[in-house]
Amino acid sequence: MKVKVVIHGHALEFTKGKERERVLDVSPDATVSDVASIIGLPNELFAGFFVNGDKVPPSFRLREGDTVILASPISGGGYQISAGAY
């Protein structure tokens, strides 16, 4: 199944190709944690995980067409991820 992945914050520096957004083909039982592993980043790098605008735990199971946002900690002010931003 396909999911869209968006990486926010400094975690982007650690990804191959530095792609902020990508579509991944994952197994039907994939979790948010699995997505982070597929792109080669540890869960500890992220301050939060969001699916379709809702904050979720790393164990959250994904569905076809979900948008996964991996948000690393940022500094310099407030930060909010709103539904529909992507």
Residue 20 lies in a domain: yes
Number of domains making up the chain: 1
- 0.95 surpassed by pTM: no
Residue 12 lies in a domain: yes
pLDDT in tens, 44-58: 888 889 999 999 999
Percent of the chain with pLDDT over 70: 80
User: What's the CATH code of the domain at 10?
Assistant: 3.10.20.30
Provide the domain limits for residue 27.
Answer: 2-71
Provide DSSP, the chain.
-EEEEEEEGGGGGGSGGG-SEEEEE--TT-BHHHHHHHTT--GGG-SEEEETTEEE-TTPBP-TT-EEEEE----SS-----TT--
